[in-house]
Amino acid sequence: MKQLRGKKALITGAASGIGRAIALELASQGTDLYLIDIDEKGLADVTSEAKRRDIEVVQRRCDLRVVQQIQETISHVVENWGGCDILVNNAGILLYGATDQTTDDQWAQLTAVNLHAPVYFMRALLPILLRRPEAHILNVCSIYGLVPKRRLAAYEMAKFALVGLSQSLRLEYGPRGLGITALCPGLVK
């Protein structure tokens, strides 16, 4: 993407860490932001900081484990913003522990946030993104979506799947002009 000024970015997990850093960098480039997180205080903080850049910033609390909240958020983005040019699927949760001691609920929460939520956002916004010049999807995956480690099975399963999905979508939609990146960072403090 050559010009970020005036573009619109939707970022999940925007209240802290990588999501916050991406939000503030895009803000510094003049990109309008639609910020999503479950952490309302962190979201308010990053929103306040981003607004200093004289851009439009919308913040919305959304629990990515709840499909209805995702659907309502997508509807709000489309109806009030007309969609976005950049989708950053950044939100993620981690569970470290023995696979045989990981509960069904823990598996469900990990896959809901780390895999299903990005799928919902991508599928719903693809028609809009495909109509926008230089649109881009950034899926923040993990090094553990490429290289396995003990006691991270549920997390790794979701991240491996998101890496594979990103690669598949790049093959499917790249020729139509949609950029898709799977970012696989290591441990981040």
pLDDT digits (tens, 9 = 90+) for 81-125: 999 999 999 999 999 999 999 999 999 999 999 999 999 999 999
Angle at 129 between CA 63 and CA 137, to 5 degrees: 60
Q: Tell me, yes or no, whether 124 lies in a domain.
A: yes
Q: Tell me, yes or no, whether 52 lies in a domain.
A: yes
Residue 8 annotated as catalytic: no
Give yes or no for a contact between 146 and 189, defined as CB atoms under 8 angstroms apart: no
Q: Is the pLDDT of residue 128 over 70?
A: yes
Q: Tell me, yes or no, whether 3 lies in a domain.
A: no
Q: Tell me, yes or no, whether 189 lies in a domain.
A: no
| pTM to 2 decimal places | 0.96
Q: At what angle do helices 104-111 and 153-173 cross, to 10 degrees?
A: 30
User: By residue range, what is the domain housing residue 36?
Assistant: 8-183
Please report the pLDDT score of residue 15 as a whole number. Answer: 99
Q: Tell me, yes or no, whether 16 lies in a domain.
A: yes
Q: Tell me, yes or no, whether 15 lies in a domain.
A: yes
Q: Is the pLDDT of residue 188 over 90?
A: no
Please report the pLDDT score of residue 1 as a whole number. Answer: 65
Q: Catalytic residue among 8, 34, 144, 159, which? A: 159
- Three-state DSSP class for residue 126: helix
Q: Catalytic residue among 34, 120, 144, 155, which? A: 155
Closest CA to 84 of 113, 60, 109, 115: 60
Q: What residues does 61 pair with on adjacent strands?
A: 37
Residue 159 annotated as catalytic: yes
Instruction: Indicate the number of domains in the chain.
Output: 1
Could you give the CA distance from residue 33 to residue 7 in angstroms, rounded to a whole number? Answer: 9
Q: Tell me, yes or no, whether 155 lies in a domain.
A: yes
**The CATH number of the domain where 147 resides is what?**
3.40.50.720
Phi, psi of 124 (to 5 degrees): -70, -35
Q: How many residues can be counted in the chain? A: 189
Phi, psi of 86 (to 5 degrees): -130, 125
Please report the pLDDT score of residue 2 as a whole number. Answer: 81
Could you give the CA distance from residue 20 to residue 10 in angstroms, rounded to a whole number? Answer: 12
Could you give the CA distance from residue 67 to residue 164 in angstroms, rounded to a whole number? Answer: 22
What digits encode the pLDDT tens for the residues 145-176?
898 889 999 999 999 999 999 999 999 999 99
> If pLDDT is split at 50, 70 and 90, which confidence band does 187 have?
confident
Q: Tell me, yes or no, whether 122 lies in a domain.
A: yes
Tell me the mean pLDDT in the region 31-52.
98
> If pLDDT is split at 50, 70 and 90, which confidence band does 177 have?
very high
